[in-house]
Amino acid sequence: MTKQTHNGGIYRSLIAQLDKIARHNRQGSFRTRERYYKAMKRFCRFLAEEYHLQKLSNLSAKHLNAYIQKLQAEGKSASTIKTDLAAIRLFHDKMDAKYPLPDNDNLAVKLERRKFGGVDRTWSQREFGLFIFKCWDAGHEDYATIATLTYYAGLRIHECFRLDTAAAENALLTGHLTVKGKGGKIRSVPINESIRIELKKMLAVTPRGQKLFVPEGVPTHIAINRLQQFICAVRPEIQDPDSNRPMTHHGLRHTYAAHTYQEQIKGGDSPLDARYQVSRLLGHERPDVTCAYLASVKKKGGRHGT
């Protein structure tokens, strides 16, 4: 299924320009070219939605810096961001560009160093609890519900924003939430009492047939961005003292993975079986992908309980 985007005409025009360049690109292996092309398509969507950019040749440093900030706010790893930057620069070098792009050392935003073996992005129980109170104080029951869905069920941010009243009602009836993830893959995740309480609150204020977290007339990407900005705003007030862990919505998904893995191990599963179960619940296909989510578990005397 093709992802919908606002300013679709501009986006299609950018993709046509991208395709013209890509047809003549023979640099790198087939897999690298495919990876770079997909990264550039995502960048084109951002350019269309946020800047209404008509020509790729007008790409400049401000677009690059803004995109990096967006990826960092979404919790993307340093490795992913640097690979995306490499893709953007490759295509930029092959077009009649109007402006030069800065290298990584001269960007307006600071890039995180690549860290192999995973980065601990989890939230502590204290941080999660304080965030929920901040949401309530600000009148954002919706943000509290989204955080609860990811902390206890591992949903991606886009999966949360896709949920409508029918999905919530079915979850309350069956005890499982049906989630449509990346690539249109469907999975079922169990819900606990905390999620049940939050879903009931949202159903009480959401017209039947509408999405739970996207107000009428507001584009989904804007609603998502508002949540990310809220997290950034309250982060200094809720983060554990002396903690340098990045606190993003995606970090709540890491927390769910770490908690679930520990529960599976305590239940008698082998590490491989536990990783497989976590991978399935997260919506991935391979247990090895889960390792990136388990950096906190590898720490001796980890602070996360179940």
* Residue 179: strand pairing partners: 187
pLDDT for residue 14: 95
Q: Which pLDDT band holds residue 252 (cuts at 50, 70, 90)? A: very high
SS (H, E, C) 118-183: CCCCCCCHHHHHHHHHHHHHCCCHHHHHHHHHHHHHCCCHHHHHHCEHHHHHHHHHHCEEEEECHH
Whole-prediction pTM: 0.63
Over the stretch 96-127, which tens digit does the pLDDT of each residue have?
A: 999 999 887 778 777 766 554 567 889 999 99
Cα angle 267, 271, 276; round to 5: 90
pLDDT of 305 over the 50 cut: no
Report the half-sphere exposure of 252 (CA within 13 A, side-chain side).
27
Query: d(Cα 277, Cα 237) in Å, to the nearest integer?
Result: 34
Q: Is 52 left (phi over 0), alpha (psi -120 to 50) or beta?
A: left
Hey, is 69 helix, strand or coil?
helix
Average pLDDT value for the chain: 87
> What's the pLDDT tens digit per position in 49-85?
989 999 999 999 999 989 998 888 787 878 889 899 9
- Say how far apart CA 107 and CA 69 lie, in whole Å: 11
pLDDT single digits (tens) 19-42: 999 998 887 777 888 999 999 999
- What number is the average pLDDT over the span 219-242? 92
